[in-house]
């Protein structure tokens, strides 16, 4: 996978700052994290930036930001910038996951309980 | 006596020499005197008259002879003078020819011909004196040799330039690659990422400079692309290499690709034109970049809202482009070199691009770069190498879904994230149990309560690896029936919820 990624990195003549328009995702309104789920609200409109169009195509079913980043071979920051634009245009909806820390104790409890069976 | 020949001839031609008159006059005078005077004086007078006539005749004869000799000499002199003038004129003409010959010889030497070839083709008028010819040849040879030396020096300097530029290019390429890897690695830290982007941008600018020097030195810019690259990527690649890329507005372009060998030159030429456009227009204005298919290929337009070009400035710019096409001297670039147009001209000449500068409707300059159809291919490259634009672009939605499902197991990190904490929370004993076949039957009931409906479908394959659960998870994601719930990752619940909401 990493080899493939490497091949891909070699491939495009464009650099990442052109894809994000120079933004690094610092000023994102809605903080996205790796496990935020994204769903597209519609298909990509004509003349859209290929990366954003690709995200919209990927998001026909809910998918996490991490997965999007992996499929596109783009760093998380780039994907979050692109998603930020898509959110602003209301082309995608995001949903944060329940904080995993809250569940952790419960899961452990359940496991312990199961073990004791 | 050579001169007497023509002299006697002249005397014969001139039937009556003026010098006949004095003796005749004296003889006549004597005769008249003899008739007039008395008889006693006739004898002495006759003597005197006869003597005088003789003397005068002699003198006249001598004078006549001398004058004819003089005439002959004069004629001879005139002939010599004419010959001398003729030779002089010839030599003058020859010198003028040399003056015209020299620049041509210099030009040919600069084009890379050998001094010997140039010299051997010089033809001399055979009527010229040998010494004169030799002297001319020597002069010509001296000049040609001097020029040849200068050319050699220039060439080696140019090679040096290109050599250095190539090394810089190699380093920059390496740098860009490692930057890309770092961007991938630190993609989650926005601040580090922002800094990396800045570095990346700076590196790209240095790379363009190195490419420019290489092009001016007669080399090709940057790397070779082994495959066609979509025009959109080419245009963005060009944007990557200028300072003010944020001011460039890239409009949707036709879906064509540029053949591999022309990719880098095209990127470079467009980058130089974009750089010109952004540099010579107010910072708050946009530069529009579009591309459209035309009869002869693809026309790439770069339009800025700057001050525009006066007719004179446009002439100058186009002259620069033309001169660059004819080949340029690195030494002529001056102290603050305006490499841009020179580079574009060079590339245009090498790759059959047509560049035109016109005034724009926005008031600025509109640069049109026409890429010949031979450099354009209509089939965009496929596969991952092509980049995201088309990897996902033309793929139908259903296929994208398939791809996701198939690739599902590969995206193991989230699954492991979900599994690991539980594994960590468990005692070692449990892990060993997991590894045994007996444990799987235990694992199935564990999932059972969570997904009662799933057990039926899960059982036939339930005796396999935990990875199969992921299969179910992805099935559920894809909306397949019979797998409504997913045991492991919490995100699974979320995703199904989302899906339900959508449906």
pTM above 0.80, yes or no: no
Task: Judge: B495–A108 Cβ closer than 8 Å, yes or no.
Answer: no
Task: Judge: A13–B236 Cβ closer than 8 Å, yes or no.
Answer: yes
| Most confident segment among A21-30, B111-120, B269-278, B403-412 | B269-278
pLDDT value of position B260? 87
B397 has pLDDT over 70: no
Least confident stretch, B58-62, B206-210, B327-331, B345-349: B327-331
* Average pLDDT, integer, range B265-287: 90
User: Which pairing describes strands B365-372 and B354-359: parallel, antiparallel, or unpaired?
Assistant: antiparallel
pLDDT value of position B204? 93
Instruction: Report how far residue B344's alpha carbon sits from residue B369's, in angstroms, rounded to the nearest whole number.
Output: 10
Least confident stretch, A22-36, B285-299, B431-445: B431-445
**B204, B392, B427 ranked by CB distance to A54: nearest:** B392
**A4, A6, A97 ranked by CB distance to B490: nearest:** A97
pLDDT value of position B271? 93
What are B405's two structure tokens? 């499902």
* Average pLDDT, integer, range B1-12: 45
pLDDT value of position B425? 44
* Average pLDDT, integer, range B347-366: 85
φ, ψ (nearest 5 deg) of residue B354? -115, 130
Q: Which residues of B touch A115 (CB under 8 A)?
A: 426-427, 430
**A6, A11, A70 ranked by CB distance to B386: nearest:** A11
In the three-class reduction of DSSP (H, G, I as helix; E, B as strand; rest coil), residue B227 is classed as coil
Enclosing H/E stretch for A117 = none
For residues B164 and A27, the model is more confident at: B164
Task: Judge: A19–B184 Cβ closer than 8 Å, yes or no.
Answer: no
Instruction: Report how far residue B70's alpha carbon sits from residue B64's, in angstroms, rounded to the nearest whole number.
Output: 10
Q: Which residues of B touch A58 (CB under 8 A)?
A: 392, 400, 404
- ipTM value, please give it: 0.77
Q: Are B358 and A44 in contact (CB under 8 A)?
A: no
Task: Judge: B177–A10 Cβ closer than 8 Å, yes or no.
Answer: yes
Task: Judge: B267–A115 Cβ closer than 8 Å, yes or no.
Answer: no
Q: Which chain B residue lies closest to A23 (C-alpha atoms)?
A: B194
pLDDT value of position B384? 36
Instruction: Report how far residue B433's alpha carbon sits from residue B439's, in angstroms, rounded to the nearest whole number.
Output: 5
What does pLDDT average to over chain B? 74
What are B75's two structure tokens? 């004629």
**A11, A14, A26 ranked by CB distance to B385: nearest:** A11
Name the nearest CA neighbour of B490 among B396, B401, B418: B418
Instruction: Report how far residue B460's alpha carbon sits from residue B454's, in angstroms, rounded to the nearest whole number.
Output: 11
Q: What percent of chain B has pLDDT over 90?
A: 19
pLDDT 10s digits, B10-64: 444 555 678 888 888 888 888 888 888 877 888 888 888 889 889 999 999 999 8
For residues B459 and B469, the model is more confident at: B469
Topology of B225-391 in CATH? Heat Shock Protein 90 (3.30.565)
* Average pLDDT, integer, range B188-192: 87
B96 has pLDDT over 70: yes
B488 has pLDDT over 60: no
pLDDT value of position A97? 65
């Amino acid at each position: 996978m990493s080899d493939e990624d490497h091949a891909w990195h070699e491939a495009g003549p464009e650099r990442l700052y052109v894809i994000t328009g120079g933004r690094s995702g610092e000023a994102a309104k809605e903080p996205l994290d790796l496990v935020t789920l994204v769903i597209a609200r519609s298909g990509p409109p004509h003349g859209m930036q290929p990366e954003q169009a690709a995200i919209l195509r990927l998001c026909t079913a809910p998918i996490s930001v991490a997965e999007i980043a992996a499929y596109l071979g783009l760093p998380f920051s780039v994907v979050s910038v692109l998603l930020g634009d898509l959110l602003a245009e209301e082309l995608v909806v995001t949903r944060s996951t329940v904080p995993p820390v809250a569940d952790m104790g419960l899961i452990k409890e359940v496991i312990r309980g199961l073990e004791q069976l | 006596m050579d001169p007497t020949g023509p002299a006697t001839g002249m005397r014969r031609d001139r039937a009556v020499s003026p010098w006949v008159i004095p003796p005749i006059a004296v003889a006549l005078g004597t005769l008249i005197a003899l008739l007039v005077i008395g008889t006693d004086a006739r004898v002495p007078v006759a003597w005197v008259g006869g003597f005088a006539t003789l003397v005068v005749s002699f003198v006249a004869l001598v004078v006549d002879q001398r004058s004819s000799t003089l005439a002959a000499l004069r004629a001879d002199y005139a002939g010599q003078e004419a010959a001398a003038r003729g030779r002089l004129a010839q030599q003058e003409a020859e010198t003028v020819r040399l003056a015209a010959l020299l620049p041509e010889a210099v030009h040919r030497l600069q084009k890379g011909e050998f001094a010997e070839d140039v010299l051997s083709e010089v033809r001399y008028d055979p009527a010229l004196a040998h010494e004169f010819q030799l002297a001319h040849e020597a002069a010509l040879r001296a000049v040609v040799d001097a020029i040849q030396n200068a050319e050699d020096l220039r060439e080696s300097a140019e090679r040096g330039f290109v050599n250095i530029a190539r090394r810089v290019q190699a380093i920059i390429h390496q740098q860009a690659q490692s930057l890309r890897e770092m961007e991938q690695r630190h993609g989650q830290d926005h601040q580090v990422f922002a800094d990396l982007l800045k570095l990346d941008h700076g590196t790209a600018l240095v790379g363009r400079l190195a490419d420019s020097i290489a092009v001016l030195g007669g080399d090709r810019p940057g790397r070779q692309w082994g495959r066609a690259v979509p025009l959109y990527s080419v245009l963005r690649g060009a944007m990557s290499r200028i300072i003010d890329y944020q001011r460039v507005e890239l409009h949707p372009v036709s879906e064509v690709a540029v053949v591999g060998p022309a990719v880098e030159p095209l990127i470079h030429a467009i980058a130089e034109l974009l750089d010109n456009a952004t540099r010579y227009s107010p910072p708050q204005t946009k530069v529009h970049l579009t591309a459209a298919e035309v009869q002869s290929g693809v026309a790439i337009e770069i339009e800025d809202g700057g001050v525009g070009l006066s007719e004179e400035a446009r002439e100058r710019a186009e002259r620069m482009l033309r001169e660059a096409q004819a080949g340029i001297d690195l030494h002529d670039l001056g102290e603050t070199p305006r490499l841009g147009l020179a580079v574009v001209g060079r590339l245009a000449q090498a790759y059959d691009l047509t560049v035109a500068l016109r005034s724009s409707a926005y008031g600025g300059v509109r640069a049109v770069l026409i890429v010949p159809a031979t450099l354009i291919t209509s089939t965009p490259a496929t596969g991952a190498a092509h980049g995201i634009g088309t990897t996902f672009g033309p793929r139908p939605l259903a296929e994208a879904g398939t791809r996701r499902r198939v690739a599902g197991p590969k995206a193991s990190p989230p699954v492991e994230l979900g599994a690991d904490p539980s594994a960590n929370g468990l005692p070692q004993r449990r892990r060993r149990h997991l590894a045994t076949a007996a444990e799987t039957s235990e694992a199935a009931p564990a999932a059972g309560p969570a997904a009662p409906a799933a057990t039926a479908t899960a059982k036939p394959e339930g005796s396999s690896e935990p990875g199969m659960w992921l299969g179910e998870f992805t099935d559920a994601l894809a909306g397949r029936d019979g797998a409504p719930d997913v045991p492991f990752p919490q995100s699974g619940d979320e995703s199904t919820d989302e899906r339900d909401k959508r449906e």
